[in-house]
């Protein structure tokens, strides 16, 4: 008896399919940094709208701003204010955020949600806000 038997023959394997290239999608923080750099370089003051609940020292909850409020309010001395909701690429605003933005738009405010500087620039160009 052979102490080293032949391994069983296996059918030839299919060639491995190539892996799709991995694309780095920036985080919301990375997108935000790029947007702020772009806006500040053009004279905009960018105000962060914190939304949520915090607790006082004695444990009482305190709500900050309204649920759904856009992340940022951009202000410029020569242009109307712009509300900006920032999302990472391929993300969309939640329902409450879309509703809040619709109310702001209905009241005549400029509002957008963006995932890149190019999207922000496109909105500003459409509104005639590029100086």
The answer regarding whether domain 32-126 maps to CATH 3.30.390.10 reads no
Read off the pLDDT band of 23 (50, 70, 90): confident
For 55, left (φ over 0), alpha (ψ -120 to 50), or beta?
beta
Where exactly are the structural domains of the chain?
32-126
Residue with the larger pLDDT of the pair 22 and 35: 35
Going by C-beta distance under 8 Å and a sequence separation of 6 or more, which residues neighbour residue 76? 42, 43, 44, 45, 129
- How much is the average pLDDT of 94-113? 98
Task: Mark 71-97 as b/e (b = at least 16 C-beta within 10 Å).
Answer: bbbbeeeebebbbbbbbeeeeebeeeb
Q: pTM for the complete prediction?
A: 0.78
As a whole number of angstroms, the distance between CA 104 and CA 80 comes to 13
Read off the pLDDT band of 24 (50, 70, 90): confident
pLDDT digits (tens, 9 = 90+) for 40-60: 999 999 999 999 999 999 999
């Amino acid at each position: 008896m052979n102490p080293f038997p032949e391994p069983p023959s296996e059918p030839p394997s299919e060639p491995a399919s190539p892996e799709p290239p991995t694309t780095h999608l920036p985080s919301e923080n990375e997108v935000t940094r790029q947007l702020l750099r772009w806006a500040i370089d053009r004279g905009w003051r960018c105000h962060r709208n914190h939304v949520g609940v915090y607790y006082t020292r004695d444990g009482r909850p305190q709500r900050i701003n309204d649920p759904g409020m856009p992340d940022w309010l951009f202000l410029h001395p020569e242009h109307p204010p712009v509300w900006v909701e920032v999302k990472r690429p391929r993300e969309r605003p939640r329902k409450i955020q879309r509703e809040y933005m619709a109310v702001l738009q209905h009241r005549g405010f400029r509002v957008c949600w963006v995932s890149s500087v190019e999207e922000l620039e496109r909105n500003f160009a459409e509104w005639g806000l590029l100086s």
